Structure 1
Amino acid sequence: MQLTLDIANELYPLTSGETFTLALARSLSPEEELAANGDEEGSEAGGKRVKKEMWRSEDQGLAADYEYVMYGKIYKFDDSAKGENQTTAYMSFGGLLLALRGSYRHLAGVVVGENIYLLMRK
């Protein structure tokens, strides 16, 4: 996988060669992540899933384990670049952009139009 990422360097400075952990998630709630991956458990009200605003509660969910969190949307796929079975997924986080290039099988769960969280820690 090849990653090109634009971050707010003033808020989260990274130097060349520095190691970091990056995660992409559909939700900050571990319960919603399980439900999105086929697990039927989770809270429901009136037949609709209750979406808890994690950033307003004391329980920050996945964000508690990371130093830098962005919320955005997957807006494009590009299969035109060279390489067998290669694709690029493009995501926007309020103007900060991410391009993730790799094998189709690694990007199979990424859907255009879907909202996504990017989480980072050093």
Structure 2
Amino acid sequence: MAEIHFDETIEVLSIEDKQNKRVYRIVAKSENGEFYLELDVHSSLYSMLPGEKYRMVISNSLHLDGSDVSAYFPQGKQESLADEFEFVMHGVLFKVSEAKGCNTEVVVYISFGGLQLMLRGDLLKMHQFSNRKLFLLLRKM
């Protein structure tokens, strides 16, 4: 079974333009307010707007059985978590740290080949981030 590290509905609060016009950073929070995140998105690959809601999942694999994803992933040949989503990125967890000024929250940093995710939330709900290779999946609600 694929190990799901994060599965929440998020709402985009704002968009910050970066120096590069192809990339923007969304600022969002989970629907229940327990998580805060900043995510870099390539503008020509996926569009997100303030006020919109998305289901966001972070998993260790795209395969439903949790097996490793090889370099070759033929579409339509095997059921996948990606079948339920519009946008998928593969990345590497590079840092987990305690949130400044709050010993009950942690901050997780994941790099997607130059695009980054900063996810802040409750220590008890974020402790399972141990796999180095992760997939981020998004679908507009």
TM tier relative to shorter chain:
0.7 to 0.9
Aligned counterparts of 1:16 and 1:2: Cα–Cα separation in 2:
15
Structure having the larger proportion of residues in helix:
1
Task: Specify the alignment match of 2:27 in structure 1.
Answer: none
Structure having the larger proportion of residues in strand:
2
User: Of the two, which has the highest radius of gyration?
Assistant: 1
The higher relative CO (CA closer than 8 Å, separation ≥ 6) is in 1
TM-score by structure 2 length? 0.67
Aligned counterparts of 2:99 and 2:127: Cα–Cα separation in 1:
17
Structure 1 runs, 4 residues or longer, greater than 4 Å off: none
Is the alpha carbon distance of 1:101 and 1:51 closer, same or farther for their aligned partners in structure 2, counting shifts above 3 Å?
A: closer
Q: Secondary structure in 2 aligned to 1:7?
A: strand
- Structure 1 residue 103, shift from structure 2 partner: 1.1
Task: Specify the alignment match of 1:117 in structure 2.
Answer: 135
TM-score by structure 1 length? 0.77
Q: Secondary structure in 2 aligned to 1:56?
A: coil
Unpaired runs of 5+ in structure 2? 1-34
- Aligned-pair RMSD on alpha carbons? 1.8
Is the alpha carbon distance of 1:57 and 1:51 closer, same or farther for their aligned partners in structure 2, counting shifts above 3 Å?
A: farther
Unpaired runs of 5+ in structure 1? 33-49
Mapped contact 2:90–2:112 kept (Cα < 8 A): yes
Q: Secondary structure in 2 aligned to 1:109?
A: coil
**Matched pairs, number:** 104
Q: Secondary structure in 2 aligned to 1:55?
A: coil
Q: Sequence identity, in percent?
A: 29
